[in-house]
């Protein structure tokens, strides 16, 4: 279960709690807010980058590949979001003594990470309800 709780009754920042971990989300400074944390769109985008990084690292370790480090950069093009098109581009930087075959294998794995699949291949059904406190 994930809970999202407002931090300050006069601010917009919220605390997100997941499995004993906490972080803050807020609206952007462009929206006139305090910028206490990434906004929900940024968290969505970051989830994709994190999933790719973790998937690549897991596979490299499992196969004994000489991956020293990975960095993933996610860029967003939301210019057509209102038309139903939300474009994310990811760039992976892999360091280590990796063969071309290793790099290709890791890239293929990144393209199949669970969040990538969830964002691109799954119909998500969302139910929203009011509950009494």
Domain residue spans of the chain: 2-31, 40-121
Q: How far apart are CA 41 and CA 86, in angstroms?
A: 11
Please write the tens of the pLDDT for every residue from 5-53. 999 888 899 999 999 999 999 998 887 677 899 999 999 999 999 999 9
Q: Which fold has domain 40-121?
A: GMP Synthetase; Chain A, domain 3 (3.30.300)
Q: Can you tell me the mean pLDDT for 73-101?
A: 96
Structure tokens at 72: 């993933």
Q: Where are the alpha helices (DSSP H) in 3-99?
A: 40-62
Q: What pLDDT was estimated at residue 10?
A: 86
Q: What pLDDT was estimated at residue 46?
A: 98
At 116, the pLDDT band (50, 70, 90 cuts) reads very high
Q: How far apart are CA 67 and CA 109, in angstroms?
A: 14
Q: What pLDDT was estimated at residue 30?
A: 80
Q: What pLDDT was estimated at residue 11?
A: 87
């Amino acid at each position: 279960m994930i809970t999202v709780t407002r931090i300050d009754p006069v601010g917009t920042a919220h605390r997100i709690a997941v499995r004993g971990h906490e972080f803050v989300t807020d609206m952007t400074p462009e929206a006139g807010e305090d910028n206490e944390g990434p906004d929900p769109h940024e968290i969505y985008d970051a989830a994709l980058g994190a999933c790719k990084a973790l998937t690549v690292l897991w596979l490299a370790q499992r196969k004994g590949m000489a991956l020293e480090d990975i960095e993933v950069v996610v860029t967003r093009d939301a210019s057509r979001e209102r038309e139903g098109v939300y474009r994310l581009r990811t760039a992976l930087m892999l360091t280590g003594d990796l063969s071309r075959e290793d790099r290709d294998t890791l890239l293929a794995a990144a393209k199949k990470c669970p969040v990538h699949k969830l964002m691109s291949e799954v119909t998500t059904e969302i139910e929203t309800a009011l509950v009494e406190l």
